[in-house]
């Protein structure tokens, strides 16, 4: 970010310099015309041939200066266009990075979605039941999911041990609170369709499932996992 700031600063200085040069040239044109207008007596004493030569020289100088001003304006426009393009690319990169953080679960996120509350009085549900629920939600377009305030990430897993359900190595217990970010109506319908999750869970002993649509929910972030084996490939 510091490098980008330096580059931007240099570009701004270049732009300011061009603008200053344009104003200097314009000023020179004005001064030249004022000088000609302020010396009527001297000009009156010159011959027609001398006056014609002065006019030709002034015309050439004026044309040259106008051409230079035009060239500088083109360069100024080019600088501004390149700066806008680079700023757009940088903004897009920032947005892509934020999206990747959300998908990886390492950034807090909020938006519309649903809440799924599950009461399991007899400890009937197993890890594969939660996997079925999560897969159904992902198929319906869920962008982020949290179970009992544990944000699901790329490497999340459910496991059964000693009659308990574990999420990423930690025990989760009833009542289960599942928060899902996405289109509330689509998510709700995906769980409510005949033969869906509600129909699967409801007949289970002691299991009660309630789904609510929410205009805004918030999900926590998870910690970044350090890679032990994976290394980036240099292109």
What are the residues whose beta carbons fall under 8 Å from the beta carbon of 168, sequence distance 6 or more?
A: 150, 155, 156, 157
pLDDT at 172: 94
- Other Cβ atoms less than 10 A from the Cβ of 91: the count is 10
pLDDT of residue 113: 97
Please give the pLDDT value at position 101: 76
Tokens 């549900």 found at: 125
**CA-based angle 39:40:46, to the nearest 5?**
100
Query: Would you give per-residue pLDDT tens digits along the chain (235 residues)?
Result: 433 443 344 444 455 555 665 556 555 555 555 444 444 445 556 566 665 666 677 677 777 777 877 788 888 888 778 877 778 877 887 887 777 777 777 788 999 999 999 999 999 999 999 999 999 999 999 999 999 999 998 788 899 998 899 998 899 999 999 999 999 999 999 999 998 888 999 899 999 999 999 999 999 988 777 777 877 787 6
């Amino acid at each position: 970010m510091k490098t980008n700031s330096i580059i931007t600063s240099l570009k701004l200085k270049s732009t300011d310099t061009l603008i200053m040069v344009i104003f200097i040239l314009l000023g020179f044109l004005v001064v030249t015309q004022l000088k000609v207008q302020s010396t009527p007596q001297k000009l009156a004493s010159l011959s027609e041939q001398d006056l014609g030569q002065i006019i030709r020289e002034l015309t050439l100088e004026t044309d040259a200066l106008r051409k230079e001003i035009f060239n500088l304006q083109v360069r100024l426009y080019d600088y501004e266009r390149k700066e806008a393009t680079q700023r757009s690319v940088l903004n897009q990169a920032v947005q892509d990075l934020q999206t990747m953080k959300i998908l990886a679960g390492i950034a807090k996120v909020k938006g519309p979605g649903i809440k799924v509350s599950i009461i399991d009085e007899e400890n009937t549900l197993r890890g594969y039941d939660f996997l079925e629920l999560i897969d159904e939600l992902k198929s319906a377009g869920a962008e982020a999911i949290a179970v009992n305030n544990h944000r699901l990430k790329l490497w999340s897993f459910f496991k059964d041990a000693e009659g308990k359900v574990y999420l990423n190595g930690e025990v989760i217990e009833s009542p289960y609170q599942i928060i899902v970010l996405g289109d509330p109506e689509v998510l709700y319908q995906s769980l409510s369709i005949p033969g869906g999750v509600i129909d699967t869970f409801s007949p289970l002993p002691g299991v009660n499932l309630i789904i609510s649509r929410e205009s805004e929910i918030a999900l926590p972030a998870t910690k970044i996992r350090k890679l032990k084996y994976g290394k980036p490939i240099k292109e």
